Amino acid sequence: MYQSQVYVNPKCSARAVNISRMDLHERLRQARLDAGFETASAASARFGWAESRYRHHENGTRGVRTPQGVIYARAYRVSVEWLMFGSGSRDKKQVPVVGIVGAGSEIFPMDDGGALEWIDAMPGLGPDAVAVTVRGNSMFPRYLDGDTLVYDRHVTPRQANGQECVVRLKDGRCLVKTVRHRDNIVSLDSYNAPSIENVAVDWLAPIVWVKRA
């Protein structure tokens, strides 16, 4: 008996997909659709792939070598074995919770670098997405105790302007703040704490999804 999956497209029509009978390029296309990308160009833009090359891989006009298959599998959060060979089961799309947000909107990471837990992910997250969980009411009313904040790719200060981000400072602290960028100066705003003016940052990652408690 073949394993089947129902795929619902953006126009709300459904069709059955025989996963076990797919070729590699068909699995690649299915993984892209399941990850929430309607077109190959949207996925290529999101992950920085050469669109023409990716289209060849998805159309089956060019073979996919294992190193590139690993990249695709990580991006779409599926197992390499399933994507490349159609064997085994697909990985569940999950994100690790790697720390907590406490007083002052500061993030306290796991001491051992592991995960507190794993949560189901939204479609379209990058392969490096991680999450932190809010503890206490220091971020009220924006975020409540138990909310989980998901972030993935790093952006420039100009791109982060006006967005709520996880911010790593040069002194090693990680904070959840609204970024203000003007005249090449970065400032960080908060709901229940004074603003931090003209701060040196290591990296910035916008919060892309919130799992409410």
> Looking at residue 164, what is its pLDDT?
95
What element of type H or E holds 158? helix 157-160
Terminal-to-terminal C-alpha distance of the chain: 40
Specify the DSSP class assigned to residue 68. H
Q: Name the residue among 125, 96, 95, 120 with its Cα closest to residue 35.
A: 125
**Beta carbons of 50 and 15 less than 8 angstroms apart:** no
What are 211's two structure tokens?
């799992």
Burial bucket for residue 71 (CB in 10 Å: 0-12, 13-18, 19+): middle
Q: Name the residue among 208, 177, 174, 210 with its Cα closest to residue 191.
A: 177
- The angle subtended at Cα 166 by Cα 162 and Cα 170, nearest 5°, is 105
> Looking at residue 188, what is its pLDDT?
95
> Looking at residue 2, what is its pLDDT?
33
Q: Name the residue among 96, 155, 157, 150 with its Cα closest to residue 125.
A: 150
- Domains of the chain listed by start with CATH number: 4-85 (1.10.260.40), 94-211 (2.10.109.10)
Contacts of 17 (CB under 8 A, 6+ apart): 4, 5, 6, 7, 30
DSSP assignment of 162-187, as one string?
TSEEEEEETTS-EEEEEEEEETTEEE
Q: Which long-range contacts (CB under 8 A, 24 or more apart) does 14-18 make?
A: none
- CA dist 154 and 157 (Å) reads 10
> Looking at residue 21, what is its pLDDT?
65
pLDDT along the chain (213 residues), means of 10: 35 38 90 91 93 96 91 85 82 80 86 76 77 89 92 92 94 93 92 88 94 90
User: pLDDT tens across 147-182, in order?
Assistant: 999 998 899 999 999 999 999 999 999 999 999 999
- CA dist 4 and 19 (Å) reads 6
Q: What is the pTM of this model?
A: 0.64
> Looking at residue 16, what is its pLDDT?
37
> Looking at residue 24, what is its pLDDT?
94
